Amino acid sequence: MPEPSPRSILSAAQLTKDFGGLRAVALDLEVAEGELLCLIGPNGAGKSTFFGMLTGAIRPTAGHIRFRGRDITGLDPFRITRLGISIKFQVPRVFEQLSVQQNLHLAAENRFGFAEACERAGHMLGRIGLSGHAADRAAWLSHGQKQWLDIGMAAIAEPALILLDEPTAGLSPEEAGRTAEFIRDLNRQATLIVVGHDMDFVRRIAQRVVVMHQGRLFAQGTIAEIRANGSVRDIYLGRGGRDARGC
């Protein structure tokens, strides 16, 4: 288990992505081993694109991503995952036709092999509170349960860095609360970058908050500092100039 330390686990240097002339992301960012970083920003700020580049789903136009000192820019998703970065997408992506247990097992098998994956899946079922649904088809789960299953799948292979894209999207307040606990719990083993929308969820988990706007790092600091920052409020209220999508 990596102890929290100032050592950087992930660094993005002049990381840029253009979509047909539009600059979606242009970012420099350092993430320290073991920290729990919250990434916020208005719609189209480029958060998901940034995640896409971290996981290899999107090829950067320019710039570099280093993971534990190794350049992973433009690697295939599966290779990046094998290096220890895993992601949960904004919309839960689970294997709907497979049972909950099978979902988790698949996620673990690649790293731990069949037998161990079974017990780890069982264990994870407990942690995400779906023990009662082990044999159910994922398609039958509620939205919140799917979110948890997806997080579980991202975490079960014990990656060093977990990316969570809006883990509370569409959850009720108390569900969000449980999710927050679970995330803090995960942070004991892994570094986390969480994209969040609703501020009090962010407040509950974040150590450091980074605000993205129009693809750039707009501001960063503790949650308190960010809340104090007037211009941040402005961009949330849409006073910060054109939105990055340019429409």
Partner 1 sequence: MINRRGDGRVRTGGTDRLAALLVVVPLALVPYGFKPYAANALALFLIYGLLAMSLNLIWGYAGMISFGQTAFFGVGAYAYGVIALNTIGPVGTTGLAVVGGAAAATALALVTAYFVFYGRLSDVYAAIIMLVLSLVLNTLMVSTAGEEWVIGVARLGGFNGLFGQGSTGQNIGNFQIPPITLQLPFMAQPFAFRIDRTSVAGYYLVLGACGTTYLAARLVLASRLGRIAVAIRENEARAAHLGYDIRLCKLTIFTLAGAIAGLAGVLFASWGRFVNPDVFGLAFASGVVVNVLLGGRLTLIGGFVGALAVNYLTSYLGGIAPTASYAAGGVLGLLYDLLGRATQQSALLVQGAVLIGTVLLLEEGIVPPVARFLSRRPLIGWFFLLPLLLVYFSAQIACRQADFCLY
Per CB under 8 A, contacts with partner 1 among 178-217 are none
Long-range contacts of 101-110 (CB under 8 A, 24+ apart): 101/125, 101/134, 101/135, 103/138, 103/149, 103/153, 104/149, 104/152, 104/153, 104/156, 106/153, 107/152, 107/153, 107/154, 107/156, 107/157, 108/156, 108/157, 110/82, 110/157
Does 134 interact with partner 1 (rule: CB under 8 A)?
no
Q: Quick one: which of 209, 233, 229, 213 has its CA closest to 221?
A: 209
Q: How far is the CB of 232 from partner 1 (least distance, A)?
A: 31
Does 98 interact with partner 1 (rule: CB under 8 A)?
yes
Selected binder of partner 1 within 10, 87, 192, 244 (CB under 8 A): 87
Does 153 interact with partner 1 (rule: CB under 8 A)?
yes
Applying CB under 8 A, the span of 19-27, 62-70, 85-93, 123-131 interacting with partner 1 comes to 85-93
Per CB under 8 A, contacts with partner 1 among 44-63 are 55, 57
Selected binder of partner 1 within 2, 4, 23, 106 (CB under 8 A): 106
Return the number of the residue (42 or 84) whose C-beta is nearest partner 1.
84
Q: In what order do the strands lie in the sheet with 70-71?
A: 22-32, 8-19, 62-67, 70-71
CA separation for the pair 243, 238 (Å, rounded) = 8
Residues that bind partner 1 (CB under 8 A): 55, 57, 76-78, 81-82, 86-87, 89, 93-98, 102, 106-107, 109-111, 114, 137, 139, 153, 157
